[in-house]
Structure 1
Amino acid sequence: MIPIASVNPVAKLGAALLVSLFLLATIDWVSATTALVLELAIIAFFGIEPKRFWLRTLPVWLAAPLTALTILLYGRYDGTVYFEFLLIRISDGSIELALATFLRVLAIGLPAVVLFISIDPTDFADGLAQRLRLPNRFVIGALAAVRMVGLFLEDWRSLELARRARGVADRGRVRRIAGQGFALLVLSIRRGSKLSIAMEARGFGGDTTRTWARESPWGQAEWLTLFVGLLIGVTATVVAVLTGSWNLIVG
């Protein structure tokens, strides 16, 4: 089992970006397949529970075929045409492009989701500020916003129960959602204003150099994570070039 949870979140982000950069430079099924196979082989050693893995990556598994379907129906026209109706035309080119798109979405999306499963928002903010040297004001504000997402969900449920108790949520689903959305917006603005005043009062908006309660560690595990991401991208690119399927789309 690989202790991926203990790796600095910035290294996880960097590894996912490295893989994405190589795959975004080309659109072919060979490089995407190579990267996907290597990624799944490594993910198998992360020790993630199967149920948790499938639930977290479900959006990626749904987005990949939907994206490929669009390319299949309206993609590149090349070779033999198997079906044609109005703007829809399925040909050899669109089939190949749809397959490459499907694998490409999986190869980019799966490692990004899996690597971020074990990331704590506070650790991520520490890494962004201490390792990437991003502005403290931006990092802390983003962290506060992420921490308040759970409160928004609770507010939504409270608003729904309150409206039902008043008898105004029995009819008109679209109208009810719009009304709750506006009420949540007002509540969020009020809470955000109070939070910003409280943070200013505690010195979060000052110009002096701030200290951090916890150090963001960086060592061999982080460099190894970046190296693995780079290795996957390079391997996928080399295999695609050697097989003649490399299709550069940026330049």
Structure 2
Amino acid sequence: MMDNIIIGQYLPGKSFVHSLDPRAKITAVVLFMVFIFISRDPFVLSMAVVLTVAAFLAAGIPPRFFWKGIRVILLIVLLTFTLHLFMTREGDVWLDLGWLTIYSGGVIEGGLIALRLLLLIVLATMLTLTTTPVDLTDGMERLMSPLERVRVPTHELALMMSIALRFIPTLLGETQKIIKAQTARGASFSQGSIWKRLNALIPVLIPLFAQSFKRAEDLAIAMEARGYAGGEGRTKFRQLAWRKRDTLILVLFSAFGAFSITTRIL
């Protein structure tokens, strides 16, 4: 199942979303993330669903490929909904079994949070699928460039975030290999109580951490061997180009944000 996780991967393509400037895509995702958590209006959330579906269609990502990669993450959304369902005690009682009481407030709050998380995960996943790691780094660095006036190492921060995203599928692949190796040696990860399953993960985590540190050290040595010394004085071979379509996307998401704030105030 871990082989299907697509967070941090890039899917080559020539769609409308692929051709957007990374600064526009990153800004749009951030605006979307902020504004969907501001408003509770059903119409605003419906607009957010429409925007997400439109972005998915414009990205040209195969639905089956996307579903295989995101279904594991849906467990987090389901867990979030379940926690709100059982822990929120507001509104009318919808179900009372003595040991289990479900309130209308729990269903509403759980549904709202689950929907927001789902939309955010879908849009953020599309960002990584339609943007190369190099473009992500350049886009984040350009967006954070005003912070250089207060001596914030924007280049290094953008590089670290890009490397972290890039290493997600690599670490998942390493985890899968270790699990298969441990299973071949008689380890069981799907039988027994939950404590036995957690204890069975210890032989997986130790070599995984060892491999992670080794990869980090190899990457650091490779960067030093190529003369990397931070962002100071560096020039760029590839220049980002802002076009009308990027402005259109920002105007669209800004209008959505303004409407979200208006419904929140009124």
User: Is TM (by shorter chain) over 0.5?
Assistant: yes
1:142-157 matched pairs, under 5 angstroms:
142-153=161-172, 155-156=174-175
Deviation at 1:39, TM superposition (A): 2.9
Q: Deviations over 1:15-45 (max 9, x none)?
A: 1111221221233444322321343245334
Deviation at 1:3, TM superposition (A): 0.8
Aligned residue among 190, 211, 235 for 2:214? 190
* Unaligned residue ranges in structure 2 (runs of 5+): 1-13, 146-152, 190-196
Q: How far apart are the structure 1 equivalents of 2:74 and 2:121?
A: 9
Match of 1:123 in 2: 135
Aligned pairs, number:
238
Deviation at 1:86, TM superposition (A): 5.8
Deviation at 1:140, TM superposition (A): 3.0
Q: How far apart are the structure 2 equivalents of 1:99 and 1:156?
A: 32
Match of 1:139 in 2: 158
Match of 2:193 in 1: none
Deviation at 1:124, TM superposition (A): 0.6
Summarize the Cα distance change of 1:68–1:27 in structure 2 as closer, same or farther, 3 Å threshold.
farther
Instruction: State TM-score, norm by structure 1.
Output: 0.75
Within the alignment, does 1:71 sit opposite 2:73 as a pair? no
Match of 1:170 in 2: 186
Bigger-Rg structure (1/2): 1
Letter in 2 for 1:37: V
Q: Is the 8 A contact 1:69 1:98 kept in 2?
A: yes
Letter in 2 for 1:105: L
Aligned residue among 44, 51, 57 for 2:64? 51
Within the alignment, does 1:22 sit opposite 2:46 as a pair? no
Match of 1:95 in 2: 107
Letter in 1 for 2:120: I
Most deviating of 153-162 and 104-113: 153-162
What RMSD over aligned residues (CA atoms) do the two structures have, in Å? 3.4
Summarize the Cα distance change of 1:18–1:183 in structure 2 as closer, same or farther, 3 Å threshold.
same
Summarize the Cα distance change of 1:4–1:88 in structure 2 as closer, same or farther, 3 Å threshold.
same
Summarize the Cα distance change of 1:105–1:147 in structure 2 as closer, same or farther, 3 Å threshold.
closer
Q: Is the 8 A contact 2:17 2:55 kept in 1?
A: no
Deviation at 1:12, TM superposition (A): 1.1
Q: Is the 8 A contact 1:34 1:236 kept in 2?
A: no
Deviation at 1:116, TM superposition (A): 3.0
Matched residue SS, 1:218: coil
* Unaligned residue ranges in structure 1 (runs of 5+): none
Q: Which has the higher contact order (CA 8 A, sep 6+)?
A: 1
Deviation at 1:121, TM superposition (A): 0.9
Letter in 1 for 2:96: E
Deviation at 1:87, TM superposition (A): 7.2
Percent of residue pairs bearing the same amino acid type = 24
Instruction: State TM-score, norm by structure 2.
Output: 0.71
